[in-house]
Structure 1
Amino acid sequence: MKIQNYINGNFENPIENNWLDNYNPSNGEVYGLIPNSSKEDVEKAYESAKSAFLEWSKTTLEERSRILIKISELLEDNLQSFAEAESKDNGKPVSLAKTVDIPRAASNFRFFGNAITQFASESHESVGQNAINYTLRQPIGVVGCISPWNLPLYLFTWKIAPALAAGNCVVAKPSEITPMTAYLLSEICNKAALPKGVLNIVHGLGKSTGQAIVEHPEIKAISFTGGTATGAHIAKVAAPMFKKLSLELGGKNPNIIFADCGYDEMLHTTVRSSFANQGQICLCGSRIFVEASMYEKFKKDFVQKVQALKVGHPSDENTNIGALVSKSHLEKVMDYIEIGKNEGGKILCGGNKVTVKGFENGYYLEPTVMEIRSDECRVNQEEIFGPVVTIMPFNSEDEALQMANKVKYGLSATLWTNDLKRTMRMSNQLQAGIVWVNTWMMRDLRTPFGGVKASGVGREGGFEALRFFTEAKNVCIKY
């Protein structure tokens, strides 16, 4: 199967006819080709977006809302086929894609389709000066959206939905590793009567296609989710052109567990927060710190539950852990396991590749729990982004805070305690963009989302996203 670029409402081959293999992680086989788009392809997509911008930016809020909600409905109508495509491309269980990824993608369009109708301007009367100020929120123009491979359609739509709702036209690049559902979304957009050129999707490598989007002088804003090193490169390229940037980058998130927590709920949720999507979620709690008085009990119970997780083919309804996204990523995660051992880490369970019968060349790995001696070891400081977690005890609130904050990242943190005063103290002091208390991954799309430190700049979600994708203009009238 050949995936094509989506430019001006049409499906097109790359201009230079360069193609990349698209792999199925569950069996390690090539099942299609995708474009490796060039600078010329990006320019064509930009020109298409530029031509569509004037009309799209002047459409009524109600019309934009109607189209976005229609896209949402069509995604829901095609839930099963999109979930299967996402699983085939990414390696995650079909059940996960069906209950999380595709419903959330649909929700993104519905939420921002509704939110734009409630996104009001501000006005300020200058008392005594006979003047009034009001703020216009105007679309930027053509914007670039670049999304990662771990939650392909979920995060792709998290960017393009608010961009389109705000009246912008988009040049978007999904990950070259997981392009399928973005391609299928193109067909949905045509069925929903999204005007030609409003959304353009170009496929290809980051160093070619992504670079062309970032360095294009007339693409005025970049929304990117991915690795910290890539984010730093984007910031360096974009800075001389004064582009607006929203960068959601890496995470090495602490999961802090106190003895006064609701134990059963904590244990169940911690297994999920450690290994959901094979640990390939930027919000996974990959560093687990447990109060010393309950550490041995937690270690025993946690390992027992992790060992019960089934590693298997994504289409198997009983599978808990599917395939990692690529062979190179599997090798990277395995390398970190060896690094952890060399640093003195003790493997409590997992750590080995898994062979699934009938799919022997797939990229499968046991969920791995490693007990470490120091919070400063590499496996506790560097983002692994796989089914590997570290655990170690702590003796005091201050020690837990120090270890939690002693990394370069600051995306999320999870805190388990029934002490309200401790909750308020630690939530205030944890260096993270989001803190979950006695839960994990509970999301309200109205809330701001993003990280601090090396986890990025800017915020997505709710009106924060609509503010990012608009420019504020103040108008002052004297009367």
Structure 2
Amino acid sequence: MSNLARFLNTVDGQPRESYSGRWIASLDPFTGKAWAEVPQCGADDAAAAVEAAHRAFTRGPWATLTATARGKLLRRLADLIARDAEKLAETEVRDNGKLLAEMAAQLRYVPEWFHYFGGLADKIEGGVIPSDKADMFTYTRREPLGVVVAITPWNSPLLLLTWKLAPALAAGNTVVIKPSEFTSCSTLALMDLVKEAGFPDGVVNTVTGYGAEVGAALVEHPLVAKVAFTGGDATGAAVYAQAARHIKHVTLELGGKSPNIIFDDANMDDAVKGAISGIFAASGQTCIAGSRLLVQRSVYEEVSQRVVAVAATARLGNPMERTTQVGPITTQPQRDKVLGFIDIAKGEGARCLLGGGTPKDPALAGGWFVEPTIFGDVLNTMRIAREEVFGPVLSIIPFEDEDEAVEIANDTIFGLASGVWTKDMRRAFKMAERIRSGTVWVNTYRAVSFLAPFGGFKKSGIGRESGQAAIDEYLQTKCVWINLAEGIPDPFIIR
């Protein structure tokens, strides 16, 4: 019997190990040591979870619950998450190594999504359609899709799950969650609160395990109506192809190579802070990372020096300590990938201005750390500027004017987010119009809200999360025709 903390799945309202009895160790990125374990599930576990969700959708009390009652359950869950926010945040830090300050702030904010979508639950309306056909009454209904599979990543497990779970439940769907095998513990802990809130059995289920064994089985299952996925673009493309074979709905929130653009008229103190926040917060492990810093040539040297000076003071350390500013990379394979990209950048001729390796502090030797790293003289054709690194690595790229800034910003397969730093509001509006990304921040960076739609252009994804647009992703429209006339005209001619 393992002496590690054990987190169990929830299927049909009951705690579950895997049918195989196998387990996956969860490693603490700060120490590199196992601290917990979760069930290693397979296709049979996935099928059981989907079948439980389908029963709950079609035959359980959830199927007859009013929209107002659904909203009350969501708001109750919000209050429970707020109560346990610090505890959930600590679990996430043990799992993914991000700063407790950051994860606690996220968990305190997460309830807002459940309150917001709880309020939207009974605002879902159809409409009466004017008819050009005599004696016909026509109207629409907005109905849930059915079983939704939510596949979530390792960088912000509960926040990114919430973006899917809250609108899916508000719309009346049931859900099967497949968290990352690296960071499943906080999701499994959340299920205790789902039960405490009073959700009927089978409405929310979890299946932990590896993508090839569990994720693929969930996407392929014939009773699954929709897949909501957050992760890398390569895996997202595979999920999209799988879902397409079965004509399933999808929402994909994928990678990014976001441009953070500083013009020479910007407030430089704010712009430098924005550059630091864009890439070194969360150790760069965020899809919206401002990994390409585009700087107008007239201030290129000044900005580069200032960004390097601030980044050089970043405090690496234990993510549980409030004074730490940069924590470890979440997984060892990801740490090795980041270091590989740093070597590639050096080989391509980029000038390393800061960092470029692992920290020398022996107190950090057990963790998966990468130094905050900055490259100057980067060309947008270099791999470091084109591929998502997902780590604390910044590329600084010069530009001459607005036209060149837009050209460089849009010269990417991605289009998730972008930043513009300028005091010129005409320029701000024009840049926001011309940049091809789902989010444009002006004189700020990394701002998100339950009120604001979030999603990508191009290979950064399909669909939107958060805001009113998100609930539409979990609904389908039914059109109802009622004939009020006596008798049927010629049955061989379309009405």
Query: 1:34 and 2:38 equivalent?
Result: yes
> Cα distance 1:446–1:124, how it changes in 2: closer, same or farther (>3 A)?
farther
Query: 1:334 and 2:339 equivalent?
Result: yes
Offset of residue 130 of structure 1: 5.7
Question: Where do 5+ consecutive residues of structure 1 fail to align?
Answer: none
| Counterpart-to-counterpart distance in 2, 1:120 and 1:434 | 28
Partner of 2:491: none
Pairing partner for 1:22 from 26, 34, 38: 26
Query: 1:248 and 2:253 equivalent?
Result: yes
Partner of 2:54: 50
C-alpha contact 1:105 1:155 (8 A) present in aligned 2: no
Offset of residue 312 of structure 1: 0.6
Provide the secondary structure at the position in 1 that maps to 2:34.
strand
Pairing partner for 2:283 from 232, 255, 278: 278
Provide the secondary structure at the position in 2 that maps to 1:476.
strand
| Counterpart-to-counterpart distance in 2, 1:447 and 1:120 | 21
Partner of 2:174: 169
| Counterpart-to-counterpart distance in 1, 2:32 and 2:421 | 39
C-alpha contact 1:53 1:142 (8 A) present in aligned 2: yes
| Counterpart-to-counterpart distance in 2, 1:282 and 1:104 | 19
- Structure 1 residue identity aligned to 2:187: A
Pairing partner for 1:267 from 265, 272, 276: 272
Pairing partner for 1:64 from 70, 87, 95: 70
C-alpha contact 2:144 2:173 (8 A) present in aligned 1: yes
Provide the secondary structure at the position in 1 that maps to 2:166.
helix
Offset of residue 118 of structure 1: 2.6
Partner of 1:80: 86
Pairing partner for 2:14 from 2, 10, 30: 10
Query: 1:362 and 2:367 equivalent?
Result: yes
Offset of residue 273 of structure 1: 1.3
Pairwise mapping of residues 340-379 of structure 1 onto structure 2 (< 5 A)? Answer: 340-354=345-359, 357-379=362-384
Offset of residue 105 of structure 1: 2.4
Pairwise mapping of residues 153-232 of structure 1 onto structure 2 (< 5 A)? Answer: 153-232=158-237
Offset of residue 124 of structure 1: 2.9
Offset of residue 104 of structure 1: 3.0
Partner of 2:104: 98
| Counterpart-to-counterpart distance in 2, 1:129 and 1:283 | 53
Partner of 1:397: 402
Partner of 2:492: none
C-alpha contact 1:26 1:359 (8 A) present in aligned 2: yes
Offset of residue 355 of structure 1: 5.0
| Counterpart-to-counterpart distance in 2, 1:375 and 1:41 | 45
> Cα distance 1:416–1:129, how it changes in 2: closer, same or farther (>3 A)?
farther
| Counterpart-to-counterpart distance in 1, 2:305 and 2:135 | 72
Offset of residue 258 of structure 1: 0.6
| Counterpart-to-counterpart distance in 2, 1:174 and 1:157 | 12
TM-score (structure 1 length as normaliser): 0.97
- Structure 1 residue identity aligned to 2:69: E
- Structure 2 residue identity aligned to 1:50: H
| Counterpart-to-counterpart distance in 2, 1:393 and 1:84 | 40
Offset of residue 447 of structure 1: 2.6
Query: 1:235 and 2:240 equivalent?
Result: yes
| Counterpart-to-counterpart distance in 1, 2:128 and 2:340 | 57
C-alpha contact 1:311 1:365 (8 A) present in aligned 2: no
Offset of residue 331 of structure 1: 0.6
Question: Where do 5+ consecutive residues of structure 2 fail to align?
Answer: 485-495
Offset of residue 98 of structure 1: 1.0
> Cα distance 1:335–1:7, how it changes in 2: closer, same or farther (>3 A)?
same
Provide the secondary structure at the position in 2 that maps to 1:208.
helix
Provide the secondary structure at the position in 2 that maps to 1:107.
helix
- Structure 1 residue identity aligned to 2:211: G
Provide the secondary structure at the position in 2 that maps to 1:11.
strand
C-alpha contact 1:119 1:463 (8 A) present in aligned 2: no
Provide the secondary structure at the position in 2 that maps to 1:410.
coil
C-alpha contact 2:51 2:223 (8 A) present in aligned 1: no
Partner of 2:465: 460
Offset of residue 191 of structure 1: 1.0
| Counterpart-to-counterpart distance in 2, 1:436 and 1:79 | 28
Query: 1:388 and 2:383 equivalent?
Result: no
CA deviation string 1:26-68 (max 9, x = no partner): 1000112211211100111112111111331321122111111
Number of positions where the alignment pairs a residue of Structure 1 with one of Structure 2: 478
| Counterpart-to-counterpart distance in 2, 1:260 and 1:247 | 36
Provide the secondary structure at the position in 1 that maps to 2:359.
strand
| Counterpart-to-counterpart distance in 2, 1:120 and 1:472 | 10
Query: 1:425 and 2:424 equivalent?
Result: no
- Structure 2 residue identity aligned to 1:68: L
| Counterpart-to-counterpart distance in 2, 1:402 and 1:265 | 24
| Counterpart-to-counterpart distance in 1, 2:287 and 2:127 | 35
CA deviation string 1:138-177 (max 9, x = no partner): 1111111101011111001111111111111111101111
- Structure 2 residue identity aligned to 1:341: K
Partner of 2:490: none
Offset of residue 414 of structure 1: 0.8
Greater displacement, 164-173 / 106-115: 106-115
Pairwise mapping of residues 249-328 of structure 1 onto structure 2 (< 5 A)? Answer: 249-328=254-333
C-alpha contact 1:356 1:362 (8 A) present in aligned 2: no
Provide the secondary structure at the position in 1 that maps to 2:418.
strand
| Counterpart-to-counterpart distance in 2, 1:392 and 1:3 | 45
CA deviation string 1:379-432 (max 9, x = no partner): 000000000010021111111111111111111111112222222222122111
C-alpha contact 2:304 2:376 (8 A) present in aligned 1: no
| Counterpart-to-counterpart distance in 2, 1:297 and 1:176 | 43
- Structure 1 residue identity aligned to 2:127: E
Provide the secondary structure at the position in 2 that maps to 1:31.
strand
Offset of residue 357 of structure 1: 4.9
> Cα distance 1:358–1:263, how it changes in 2: closer, same or farther (>3 A)?
closer
C-alpha contact 1:371 1:390 (8 A) present in aligned 2: yes
Partner of 2:439: 434
Provide the secondary structure at the position in 1 that maps to 2:408.
helix
- Structure 2 residue identity aligned to 1:328: P
CA deviation string 1:211-230 (max 9, x = no partner): 11111111011000001111
Offset of residue 243 of structure 1: 0.2
C-alpha contact 2:168 2:175 (8 A) present in aligned 1: yes
